[in-house]
C-alpha cells in the first residue's frame, strides 16, 4: 500500500515538507501506515510470549507476502534470484518454527515490578 501511494505522490524530501505532508494524507500511504502500526503492535505482543530468535524469523514471512503482492497486485517484476531468496527465507522459517517458541533457562529470571509498591519494597531491601 505504501508503494502504491508513494508512486502516486511522487518523490518527497525533508526540504519540501508540504509534499511530505501531502504524501502522508494519500489514502494508500495512510492505510500503509496504519498497517505498519498494527504490525508493530503484533510484534510487541509476540515478543511478550516468545523469544526474539523465534519471532524474528516468523516476521520475515512478510517478505514472502510482499513479493507476492508486488508480483500479482502491483504487477512488478520479481527476478528469479529474488524468488530463490524467498524460497530460502521460507525454508529458514520452517526450520525455526519446528523449535520451541520459548527457551527455558536454568537460572531464575529477574522480573520487573508490577507497581510502585513492589518497586519500593525492592529498593528498601537493597538499602539494608
| pLDDT at residue 94 in the model | 83
Is residue 28 predicted with pLDDT exceeding 80?
Answer: yes
**Same domain flag for 87 and 65:** yes
Percentage of the residues of the chain whose pLDDT score is greater than 90: 9
Percent pLDDT > 70 in the chain is: 80
Instruction: Please name which of 3, 70, 77, 75 lies closest in space to residue 36, comparing C-alpha atoms.
Output: 3
Give the sign of the dihedral formed by CA 102, CA 56, CA 23, CA 65: negative
120: in domain: no
Residue 5 lies in a domain: yes
pLDDT digits 0-9 by tens, 6-20: 777 777 777 778 787
> Please, which residues have CB within 8 angstroms of residue 12's CB and are 6 or more apart in sequence?
6, 19, 20, 23
pLDDT (0 to 100) of residue 11 = 77
Q: Do 28 and 55 belong together in one domain?
A: no
Number of domains in the chain: 2
Q: How far is CA 57 from the centre of its chain?
A: 11
| Distance in angstroms (rounded) separating the CA atoms of residues 128 and 125 | 6
> From CA 20, how far away is CA 118, in angstroms rounded?
46
The residue that leads in pLDDT, 82 or 23, is: 82
Determine the Cα–Cα distance for residues 23 and 27; give it in Å rounded to an integer. 9
Q: How far is CA 114 from the centre of its chain?
A: 27
Domain that holds residue 76: 51-100
Q: Are residues 65 and 94 in the same domain?
A: yes
- Cα gap 44→65, rounded to integer Å: 20
Which residue did the predictor score with more confidence, 124 or 7? 7
Amino acid at each position: 500500500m505504501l508503494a502504491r501511494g508513494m508512486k502516486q505522490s511522487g518523490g518527497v524530501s525533508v526540504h519540501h515538507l508540504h509534499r511530505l505532508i501531502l504524501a502522508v494524507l494519500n489514502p494508500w500511504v495512510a492505510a500503509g501506515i496504519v498497517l505498519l502500526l498494527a504490525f508493530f503492535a503484533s510484534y510487541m505482543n509476540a515478543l511478550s510470549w516468545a523469544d526474539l530468535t523465534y519471532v524474528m524469523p516468523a516476521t520475515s514471512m512478510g517478505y514472502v507476502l510482499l513479493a507476492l503482492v508486488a508480483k500479482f497486485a502491483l504487477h512488478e517484476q520479481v527476478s528469479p534470484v529474488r524468488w530463490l531468496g524467498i524460497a530460502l527465507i521460507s525454508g529458514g522459517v520452517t526450520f525455526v518454527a519446528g523449535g520451541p517458541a520459548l527457551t527455558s533457562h536454568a537460572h531464575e529470571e529477574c522480573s520487573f515490578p508490577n507497581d510502585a509498591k513492589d518497586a519500593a519494597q525492592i529498593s528498601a531491601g537493597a538499602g539494608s
